[in-house]
Amino acid sequence: MLVAGRAALVTGAGRRLGRAIAEGLAARGARVAVHYGRSAADAASVAASIRAKGGDAEVFGADLTDAAAIERLAGAVSEYFGPVDILVNNAAVFYRTPLPALSEREWDETFGVNLRAPFLLSLRLGREMRARGIGKIVNIGDGGASRPYRDHLPYGVSKAGVTALTQGLAKALAPEVQVNCVAPGPILPVAGTTAEEQVRILERTPLGRFGSPEDVVAAVLFLIEGSDFVTGTTVVVDGGRALV
């Protein structure tokens, strides 16, 4: 699939990796729906940046813990841009949840954004892609899916679910739609990470450095444009950290 001219929805596109993915798709000629949950100003900045470079982008807000809001999001994007051929499920909740204080609310919020929202969007838009005979879905996973991070239990379990969701959707939507996952490792330090913690992360990363958002964008673009014969797989972009 060529990205140019295609309508693409990127969730959580106001910041960090989501922003880089949205801008990367726009640079290849996609018409980008920039979704945000709480970062309205950041999303507007992304869309403005894309337009300033001659691209086409529009901002869409939606609470991804709300199934009705997800349905409205899919409908609004399709109404504005026409058929959506590219879906990047990037939005995620990530914060410390130590087990002694872990609440049902935190568990439900994490699963709602990280797993149920990608499922619901893929269900709605994936069915439409399959009916048209073409489509690409890329889920953003995490190395924590196979090696859970301490004090991030719901996050790790939800991302393991994203891996399984990717594989299940790849079978269910084949052959018309290809569904894959990109699992970043140490790309951008998490807010609040101390210098000592960053050093420990890099000591466990064979390439000895943090990656860049562009490394993730390159993997996403490969799965969309680079091949139509890859589905159900996870591309790990972690500098070799999974080997340690």
Hey, which residues are catalytic here? 155, 159
Burial class of 98 by CB neighbour count within 10 A (0 to 12, 13 to 18, 19+):
exposed
Give the HSE-up count for residue 192: Cα atoms under 13 Å, Cβ half-sphere: 3
Question: For residues 222 and 224, what is the distance between their CA atoms, to the nearest angstrom?
Answer: 5
Residues in Cβ contact with 233 at an 8 Å cutoff, skipping those fewer than 6 apart: 166, 180, 181
Strand-pair partners of 87 = 9, 137
What backbone phi and psi angles, to 5 degrees, belong to 114? -80, -30
Question: For residues 227 and 218, what is the distance between their CA atoms, to the nearest angstrom?
Answer: 13
Give the HSE-up count for residue 41: Cα atoms under 13 Å, Cβ half-sphere: 0
